[in-house]
Structure 1
Amino acid sequence: MKMIILSILTSLLFSCSEPQQDLARVKQLTPKEFKAQKMNSKSVLLDVRTPEEFAGGYLEGAENADFRGGEFEKKMQGWDKDKVYYLYCASGNRSGKAAELMREAGFEHIYNIGGYSTLKEAGLPTEGESNR
């Protein structure tokens, strides 16, 4: 009987010590996968580059929230956590960090879609000075 109880307790101990799976993970999308997304009023496209980079061209419909300048964290506090957010930057690095910050703040629907030049090369529509 003691062995059975010990076995049960040991099983419970090991099952409780395993890390919990994080349900709100930042998902990575390729340009092709992003193109397939249905953008609507519950979708937000965020360019987290600097205002100078943004002025040089950006994806059609994107909002700018500078990750490096601290603007991102301030703006994030007013965003709707029920919306779906697609983030990009120059290479995917800053957008990955910004997406992780959003995840930690309780946002659940976050996608890092990578770098602007890769997205532009994939044929996604752009706006701004670089299109002239």
Structure 2
Amino acid sequence: MNLEQKEWWSQFLNDEHGIIIDVRTEDEFESGKIPGSLNIDIYKGQGFIYRVEELDKSKNFYVYCAAGVRSANACGVMQQLGFENVFNLVGGFSNWDGPTD
């Protein structure tokens, strides 16, 4: 599900089962990220799938990338793998005006 930043962030903050996933590259992740996010690079292909399959499917996942395209793809992959609650950040990190590390 695509969510605009305000809704994505407020929903995450009120979600005791929420986990943020950054699907950008490690270099992008190291240059700035949303606090508390896990980095699982979607460009790793099968490696991405292996890492995602280790996650608890009962949690709620808030996914972002730089502009929202890779994260939308990641959400689609996660849904195919049986994840029910995945939320894509529309506009991605490049439009993020919330807290960063």
With normalisation by structure 2, the TM-score equals 0.90
Q: How many residues align?
A: 97
1:45 aligns with 2:20: yes
Q: How does 1:50-89 map to 2 (within 5 A)?
A: 50-70=25-45, 71-89=47-65
Question: CA offset at residue 74 of structure 1?
Answer: 1.3
Aligned position for 2:100: 126
Which one of the candidate residues 8, 25, 31 is aligned to 2:5? 31
Question: CA offset at residue 117 of structure 1?
Answer: 1.7
**Larger RCO: 1 or 2 (CA < 8 Å, sep 6+):** 2
Aligned position for 2:84: 108
Instruction: Point out the structure with max Rg over C-alpha.
Output: 1
Uncovered stretches (5+) of structure 2, i.e. residues with no partner: none
- Report the residue type matching 2:93 in the other structure: Y
Uncovered stretches (5+) of structure 1, i.e. residues with no partner: 1-26, 128-132
- Report the residue type matching 2:68 in the other structure: G
Task: Report the 3-state secondary structure (helix = DSSP H, G, I; strand = E; otherwise coil) of the residue aligned with 1:126.
Answer: coil
1:91 aligns with 2:67: yes
Question: CA offset at residue 35 of structure 1?
Answer: 2.5
Q: Which runs of 4+ in 1 moved over 4 A?
A: none
Aligned position for 2:94: 117
Question: CA offset at residue 98 of structure 1?
Answer: 0.5
With normalisation by structure 1, the TM-score equals 0.70
Task: Report the 3-state secondary structure (helix = DSSP H, G, I; strand = E; otherwise coil) of the residue aligned with 1:59.
Answer: coil
